[in-house]
Amino acid sequence: MLLDTGSAGVRVLASALGSALAGRLPAQTGATDDPTHGAPITQCAIFASGYTWGSVKRADVTLGGKMAGNLPIQVISDGSNATPSDCASRGIADIGSVTELGANGVIGIGSAVRDFPLAAQYVLPATYYYCPSTGSCTSTRVPLDTQIMNPVADFTTDNNGTIIRLPALQPGGQTSATGELVFGIGTQQNNALPSSANIIPLDSSGFFTTAYKGSTFGNSVIDSGSNTGIFQDTAIPFDAWGRYTPATTLSLSGLLKATSGAGTSATVPFQVANTANLLASTYAAFDNIASYTSVSSYFIWGLPFFFGRNVYTALNGSRAGSQTGPFVAF
């Protein structure tokens, strides 16, 4: 499973569950705009690399020693309904397979408690649908308690956020790296938030701002689900796949700060090497790979950011000592 601080909720491939288990999970119903209130709810979840399409079902989810009971999850590519055209057109590519996703599913532990809170009030395109047994699926509003939920928020304890700890890497990368996921912030002896931590408040959408080379990127995230850093810098050469390919490794920096209002800011140095060459090697763990994006407002601090750090993600509305979520800290 891919551990993702850039999304909220558990999504698992039907092929990984097996037909017997996938078929036994109870379907989520109760879409606001469903006149029968009994049609199964299905979701289109859009990521930077593509979309996943599949039914919303209920399941008990266990992570380590913690359980989220009767949790709404997405069962990806379960074949229950055809993918709507607006989902396919907005989602770039279907990543609903092990080959395309690169994992059996996604564990979204970002700052949001529910994945699309606005879908409780508005019909959002390419998001939630109700799907009757006959006819096509219809976009719909869905109540919050039927939406895909961050599993950490459903724990009975240590449910205000997470910490990802990954070691620093050797120069040039490593074959692999092993870290740990800790539940809770300031709830146990092993998850205290240091007084020296850089705490960056997040807005209601989970974003902060990055200032980089005189430009401001308002849609910034610290995202363990992205293999590389992702941002727009036309001064750095990149290949047909968007991988940056500078002739020599570049030493750069960005200023992380709240999108609006007061809050801590932090200057973060980082390096960008020839990503195409590094990814062609036998190594898999790198702290200096990055990619170009055509979306000028995004600055994604991906997995390279996590190496050599403790990265805290506090949930929306939570308390961690004197701090109120949502925030990220390191």
**pLDDT on residue 195:** 92
Last residue of a domain, one of 120, 154, 188: 154
Q: What is the mean pLDDT of each run of 10 residues along the chain (330 residues)?
A: 97 94 93 96 93 96 96 95 91 90 96 96 96 92 97 98 97 94 97 95 95 96 96 97 97 95 88 96 96 95 98 96 94
Domain boundary among 154, 177, 206: 154
Number of domains in the chain: 2
Give the strand pairing for 66-76 and 8-13. Answer: parallel
Listed residues 95, 123, 154: the one ending a domain:
154
Instruction: Indicate whether 193 and 98 sit together in one domain.
Output: no
Domain match, 125 and 203 both? no
- Per-residue buried b or exposed e for 91-124, using 16+ beta carbons within 10 Å of the residue's own CB: beebbbeeeebebebbbbbbbbbbbbeebbeebb
6 lies in the same domain as 119? yes
Residue 231's domain comprises 161-329
Find, among 115, 105, 126, 128, the residue nearest to 30 by Cα.
128
Domain holding 37: CATH number? Answer: 2.40.70
For 65, residues 6+ apart whose C-beta sits below 8 A from its C-beta are none
Query: What is the spatial distance between Cα 40 and Cα 28, in angstroms, rounded to a whole number?
Result: 6
Query: Are residues 243 and 281 both part of a single domain?
Result: yes
Whether residues 140 and 238 share a domain: the answer is: no
For 143, phi then psi, to 5°, come to -60, 155
SS3 label, residue 86: helix
Are 69 and 188 found together in one domain? no
Residues 223 and 124 in one domain: no
Q: 56 in helix, strand or coil?
A: strand
* pTM of this structure: 0.94
| One domain for residues 37 and 125 | yes
Are residues 38 and 165 part of one domain?
Answer: no
Please check whether residues 170 and 189 belong to one and the same domain: yes
Judgement on whether residues 78 and 189 belong to the same structural domain of the protein: no
Q: Are residues 48 and 182 in the same domain?
A: no
